[in-house]
Amino acid sequence: MAYSWFKAFHLVGIVVWFAGLFYLVRLFIYHVEAEQEPEPARTILKNQYQIMEKRLYSIITTPGMLVTIAMAIGLLSTEPEVLKQPWLHVKLAFVVLLIGYHHYCKRLMKQLAANECKWGSQQLRALNEAPTIMLILIVLLAVFKNNLPTDITAWGIFGLIIATAITIQLYAKKRRQDKEKLSAEISQVPQQQT
């Protein structure tokens, strides 16, 4: 029975943790893009994003990570023999990378608050794909364990995932170009005199 409780809350922790990681970097993107806004909107937006980032990191993302880790330890305590499995070693390596990513987000958050972040919105969009890739790999390892499929279906699914990521990036680029084009058109319209 303990195994089922640990597994249930491990899954809840994973969902909360990843939701936080996905949204946190999206807030970083908006935070960086707020720099292009005129005052006072720039300051208002940056202050609001800073508050949202801190709350998301402290109240949702970090507790989600801690629940995930605590429940994983609980799971391993009920089945210690699984620690000998190669798939788990690989999965744990990805989890360690994910924990590093989590803490790197904290560093970026501090840089944004101090106006010292060197990342552009495009770079942050690419960074935002990292937890998605790690989530896919971790789930595949947890489901298939040592029998990770390498047939044509698996490669087809992998291709769809890559195509989806590329489509999202292209859509974001198009939206940015449309916004820049609209801004240029608006700036060319002669202002009416009062």
Q: With 80 as the cut, is the pLDDT of residue 104 above it? A: yes
Interval 58-72: pLDDT, tens: 999 999 999 999 999
Binding site residue list: 10, 91
Average pLDDT over the chain, rounded to whole? Answer: 90
Binding site residue list for heme: 10, 91
Inter-residue contact 113 to 28 (CB < 8 Å) = no
Cα(3)–Cα(10) distance, integer angstroms: 10
CB-facing half-sphere around the CA of 46: CA atoms within 13 A:
20
Within the chain, where are the H helices? Answer: 2-33, 41-55, 62-78, 86-113, 121-127, 130-144, 152-188
* pTM: predicted TM-score of the whole model, two decimal places: 0.79
Above pLDDT 90, what percent of the chain? Answer: 63
pLDDT interval class at 152 (50, 70, 90):
confident
Per-residue pLDDT, averaged over 178-191, amounts to 76
At 52 the pLDDT is: 97
Interval 136-151: pLDDT, tens: 889 988 988 888 777 7
The amino acid sitting at 170 is L
At 116 the pLDDT is: 95
Return all residues near 57 (Cβ < 8 A) that are at least 6 apart. Answer: 20, 24, 105, 106, 109
Of 194 and 175, the one with more pLDDT? 175
pLDDT interval class at 193 (50, 70, 90):
very low
What letter would DSSP give residue 150?
Answer: -
Cα(140)–Cα(14) distance, integer angstroms: 14
pLDDT interval class at 174 (50, 70, 90):
confident
Which residue's entry shows tokens 């993107």? 29
Least confident of 48-57, 114-123, 165-174: 165-174
Q: With 60 as the cut, is the pLDDT of residue 179 above it? A: yes
Cα(107)–Cα(114) distance, integer angstroms: 11
Q: With 60 as the cut, is the pLDDT of residue 192 above it? A: no
At 190 the pLDDT is: 62
